[in-house]
Amino acid sequence: MGRPPSPAQRAVQITFVLKGHLKNVQVAYIRVAALLARVRDEKLYRALGHATMDDYAAARLGLQHAQLYRYLAVYDWIREFHRPWLARRPKGKHANRGTRTRRLCARCCGRCAPLAGGSPAFRGYRRSSSRRSTR
């Protein structure tokens, strides 16, 4: 039997696994946002007896107003600026939605950095999209 891994080796292994899980979370977030937008755009919440998207999200999904609109704002922003991210299997340098890629894309097109939500441009986009009616 070999020696047990050193703390540094364990840290590297755990970091590798964490990066994979975080990537999966990012992809899942965008998929959830896309499905919520579909329910909103097709007004499918009405078929389940809900008067508004807010009512549907609260009753069926346990999402509060702010959470719901954060998902929808991110989806609307991606649809407007980076439609390829919505592909089933995104390809190219934008496919990895991690911080490094956002920096690279910020250099090439200048629109990905706002996805983190910290830039004034994305905050403005979120504000304008939250004024849209969901009824």
- Residue 111: pLDDT band with limits 50, 70, 90: low
Query: Would you say residue 89 lies in a domain?
Result: yes
- 28: pLDDT strictly greater than 50: yes
Query: Would you say residue 1 lies in a domain?
Result: no
Query: Would you say residue 2 lies in a domain?
Result: no
- 97: pLDDT strictly greater than 70: no
Q: Quick one: average pLDDT of 94-112? A: 49
Query: Would you say residue 88 lies in a domain?
Result: yes
- Residue 73: pLDDT band with limits 50, 70, 90: very high
> 33: closest CA among 81, 75, 90?
75
- 46: pLDDT strictly greater than 60: yes
Owning domain of residue 60: 7-130
> In the chain, how many domains are there?
1
Of 2-6, 67-71, 113-117, the least confident: 113-117
Please, what sign has the CA dihedral across residues 108, 112, 113, 114? positive
Query: Would you say residue 96 lies in a domain?
Result: yes
Query: Would you say residue 25 lies in a domain?
Result: yes
Q: What integer pLDDT is reported at residue 60 of this predicted model? A: 97
Alpha helices in the chain (DSSP H): 7-41, 53-56, 65-81, 99-108, 120-130
Task: Provide, rounded to the nearest whole percent, the portion of the chain with pLDDT above 90.
Answer: 56
Please, what sign has the CA dihedral across residues 34, 40, 46, 50? positive
Q: What integer pLDDT is reported at residue 83 of this predicted model? A: 85
Q: Are 75 and 30 in contact (CB under 8 A)?
A: yes
Q: Quick one: average pLDDT of 37-49? A: 97
